[in-house]
Structure 1
């Protein structure tokens, strides 16, 4: 439980929140920063709010349609750029951006080499799946459950692994029926605050990257007003260190529209700073 009186703090007060699955989504700029800095990717903004990216090889398409049912991020991969996607990952609008960023950054980094660095024999290969990553963080498997659940130590985040066979096209059309689901909230199993879905063919190393971000014990930066009300009594919150605050002029530049980001050379460009002031304030409505 937070030792701070959050109700007594201004909504734009910068704080550090742990665990990440209770911190709220936070600003989207970190994800945009990864994609805007990726060499050769094409960006399209439609209707003034919806943003779409296409990889140089045309195999990956990423959408952030603000007004859609999910309103978060949908990522698809198709070996045949003109064919049906081989896999799909969907992050709803409430998914913490650290999880989306970890998945997206790993995808962008590995795509030019067709992920071979992350496959057996590659320099980044670990052999760990998301279940392995979570168990290393002391998550526990719920025995005898169908579907199978792996739950965080505080019981406010969970990984669901679906059992049984399901036609791959059903997964593509209905994310809720995907093989894997990450979720968090007061009751992450039955009434989650946020959900991320991964179809059966989603590469293991990408799912593991998302799981690593979810299992990280590090506190993440947020504004007080961005922490969901129902999570405030459960999360650990402390004031951000003054040194983490960037100059006001830099924060103002960061609030420019996403299209104003200047691409950096190469797909391995650094992700922008995690400081909230550098990302700009979240405008999510409550």
Structure 2
């Protein structure tokens, strides 16, 4: 009994640990290669985070397996706030539904949401060589000639793939979904008229739309986006409730003390308000989207349910 009492007196309480936090460098694992959107965003926030937390911020890229490798390492790390990760929509809300057996962790049980970082809307475009002039025209043509239209996207299981599938479901049409190895090849083919339609991210399409080389039919966000203010959301074009965006946020290992999660959240939210960081994020076609840990947790749960349902109903398989 005496040993238990002595041990409890000598052991730091959770409160004292949280009060001392952070007292050493913080590692952020990015589950994508250097130079990608998530990597650029976190490096844009790095100086402000280091200043606010008064500790070096070490960024480590661990790409592979659709984000499973990097975020799997976060899930296995000590829950002390010194290892967190940048996780995208795919690894948290799509991968578990495409191939549960390949998941090395449970996103809803083995991780603690800290904050959403940014959202990336997409745009449905038509080739100028096609005769499709609007969403209504597209739907009418697809219903008149089922399976006679195709839409390209950035790859199997990507947010652009799911956006394309959601469009087909909401519009109640049959349309061939063509997977490319990234956004750029899809943009090249729709620009050349090899495919009539594509779902693209903003950086790959914005200038082409402005130059009149691609016809923007609608954006996938619920509201108009600052990058293409003249393009209406699909939700306003007959597809009520349509919303699909790419996104990524910060997660920590399950069991990380709430006070530490709160300190991390405050630092990231503050960093996301820095004008220089906002400018770098918007260059990527992304919009800063800081949130509370609870709001991010609810968002992950709702996105997981949404995409899980679509994947099952549309019969989408992993490749």
TM-score of Structure 1 vs Structure 2, range by shorter chain? under 0.3
Structure showing greater radius of gyration is 2
Q: What TM-score, normalized to structure 2?
A: 0.22
Q: What TM-score, normalized to structure 1?
A: 0.23
